[in-house]
Structure 1
Amino acid sequence: MANVLTSSRRAPVVFLHGTAGSRRQWQDLIDRLPGGFENLALDLPGYTAHEVPQAERSLSAEADMILQKLRALGRPVHLIGHSYGAALALRIAVKWPDMVQSLTLFEPAIFHLLRDGHPVERQMFAHIARLAQEIGIAAAAGRPDWGAARFVDFWNGPGSFAVYAPETRERVTARMPLIRANFSALHQETWPLEECARVTCPMLGLYGENSPLLSQHLIRLVAGQMPQAKVLPIAGAGHMLPVTHAAMAARLIGTHLNAVEARMPDATPRVA
């Protein structure tokens, strides 16, 4: 993988992909990052053939699983996540803030924070809950491709799934059981918005100007609880902006990472 560690003082950079993606979604962005960092793109729990998906999943339980991989690195990390992966990254930073040297969130899918919010937020939650319900109905009808089309079009605009290459449509359709499980995992969460204030490291929030308003609102919502948060839009981008606008995202992340590292002492403490 590009950009291998050249200075032991720099924290590793760990990437968590979105629901319909894989660790490979990050490669173009990683290739464009400044040198001197060790970059590690992880597969989320259940996304590799040797892993057995849990019958009862929650975002917090999956965060615990990823934490074990982070602890193996022996020191705090720069944590970057997209969509469901961003929700996981946020949960890790909230539960174990000492493990995270900086946080970058691309449109975290942390939907439960809208469930008990003001009326507009509750309406947003109802929209995403309806999407999950429609995906379940499509699966029960034996048409996961209908659910895949509904899922993709929700995040990327009407007609997006139809113009995908056939192999891409097949890949997303094959992921629908995991996508349904991730919706269920997100629904299990109950921790309040105020816990985001536990994230005291620098946080960079990025969203596409063409993304659903729900996504744009959520990143601003969580950032508003954090003492060192900055939120930036990416012009012309949608929900898949780490892939479609990798060059711009890499520039912003590179600036963020270098600024955080410049503030750190010469020796990064190891994590027990």
Structure 2
Amino acid sequence: MALTRAGALRLHTQWLPGRGDGPRSDGPAVVLLHGLVMDNLSSFYSTLAGPLSRAGHPVLLYDQRGHGRSERPPTGYDRDTAVADLAALLAVLGLDHRPVHLIGNSYGGALALHTALVRPDLVASLVLIEAQLTGDWIEEMTDTLSVAALGLEDGRLRAQLAALGQRKEARLTAGADALLNHTTLIEDIAAGRAFTARDFARLDRPVLAVYGEHSELLPGARELAAQAADCELCVLPDVGHTVLKDATAGLRDAVLARLRGRVGAVAG
């Protein structure tokens, strides 16, 4: 693990070289984008990062701005700035010479899709895992984060967790408090917009969308599949929004199969 300077920001990164009998390690990198606030790169450790690396895919994980061990500036939590952070990171690591495969979970999926729309030169393909796409999700997320911010503001929850010896939970809670109450994250998300059918129609990168059959976000994924030129929708049974955690095996198999097809197409 390392702190890597990407523009004016230091981002916590981890690089896993491709191993095994799969694609060569000099093939397109896979970049993993985690979700918001309580999430960080560690959510991919035992779920996707290891299996992808063992299958021969070089993998980049990083804590996004303000998350995990990355620096937490007071501003810059909109999607355009997130894309700029990613572009700067790829450049400084020498990974900007060819497009990368982006895999995003939850809000990380929304960032992956936005990247493909505004910087398609960076993107070889997309895997969207339970990404928020359409409907009132921005308003709903803003409301949820605002309520969470109020609950964290006085610090009592963090103190209670620390007193109970739950140091990891206390640390995550402290990070969430810092993000929600001491940065513009909530305001920046509220100023964004949901994706539209027009966005999906102009998407020119292949997409695998993986959702749980009980997910409230599934209608947006179906609209994406209907409008995008190359989108495969994979619906995993008996799970909702927690696909990454609770349907890891099915997700892993779908992602590896998709990447094998894409690498084969590039090689051919």
Q: Could you state the TM-score of these two structures normalised by the residue count of structure 1?
A: 0.74
Say which of 198, 202, 209 aligns to 2:202. Answer: 198
User: Alignment identity in percent?
Assistant: 24
The answer to whether the Cα contact below 8 Å between 1:67 and 1:92 also exists between their aligned partners in 2 is no
Bigger mean CA deviation after superposition, 94-103 or 39-48: 39-48
1:46 and 2:48 aligned: no
Letter in 2 for 1:261: V
Bigger mean CA deviation after superposition, 51-60 or 172-181: 172-181
Say which of 246, 255, 259 aligns to 2:257. Answer: 255
In structure 1, the partner of 2:127 is 104
Say which of 40, 50, 56 aligns to 1:22. Answer: 40
Aligned length: 235
The answer to whether the Cα contact below 8 Å between 2:109 and 2:132 also exists between their aligned partners in 1 is yes
In structure 2, the partner of 1:188 is 191
In structure 1, the partner of 2:24 is 7
Distance 1:192 1:80, change over 3 A: closer
- More strand per residue: 2
In structure 1, the partner of 2:213 is 209
Bigger mean CA deviation after superposition, 76-85 or 101-110: 101-110
1:61 and 2:64 aligned: no
Distance 1:240 1:186, change over 3 A: same
- CA displacement at 1:182 relative to structure 2: 4.1
Distance 1:54 1:192, change over 3 A: same
Distance 1:68 1:191, change over 3 A: farther
- CA displacement at 1:49 relative to structure 2: 4.3
In structure 1, the partner of 2:148 is 135
Structure having greater relative contact order (Cα 8 Å, sep ≥ 6)? 1
- CA displacement at 1:16 relative to structure 2: 0.7
The answer to whether the Cα contact below 8 Å between 2:102 and 2:112 also exists between their aligned partners in 1 is yes
Secondary structure (helix, strand or coil) at the match of 1:239 reads coil
Letter in 2 for 1:61: T
Bigger mean CA deviation after superposition, 59-68 or 216-225: 216-225
Letter in 1 for 2:144: L
Q: Which runs of 4+ in 1 moved over 6 A?
A: none
- CA displacement at 1:192 relative to structure 2: 5.1
| Runs of 5+ unmatched residues, structure 2 | 1-15, 159-164
The answer to whether the Cα contact below 8 Å between 1:107 and 1:206 also exists between their aligned partners in 2 is yes
Distance 1:94 1:145, change over 3 A: farther
The answer to whether the Cα contact below 8 Å between 1:144 and 1:176 also exists between their aligned partners in 2 is no
Secondary structure (helix, strand or coil) at the match of 2:27 reads coil
- CA displacement at 1:256 relative to structure 2: 0.4
1:176 and 2:194 aligned: no
Say which of 101, 107, 110 aligns to 1:84. Answer: 107
Letter in 2 for 1:27: Y
1:221-260 map, 5 Å? 221-260=223-262
The answer to whether the Cα contact below 8 Å between 2:142 and 2:189 also exists between their aligned partners in 1 is no
Letter in 2 for 1:99: L
The answer to whether the Cα contact below 8 Å between 1:3 and 1:30 also exists between their aligned partners in 2 is no
Return the alpha-carbon distance in structure 1 between the equivalents of residues 235 and 201 of structure 2. 22
| Runs of 5+ unmatched residues, structure 1 | 115-121, 147-164, 267-272
Distance 1:50 1:44, change over 3 A: closer
In structure 2, the partner of 1:155 is none
Return the alpha-carbon distance in structure 2 between the equivalents of residues 202 and 189 of structure 1. 24
The answer to whether the Cα contact below 8 Å between 1:2 and 1:31 also exists between their aligned partners in 2 is no
Distance 1:87 1:182, change over 3 A: farther
Q: Could you state the TM-score of these two structures normalised by the residue count of structure 2?
A: 0.75
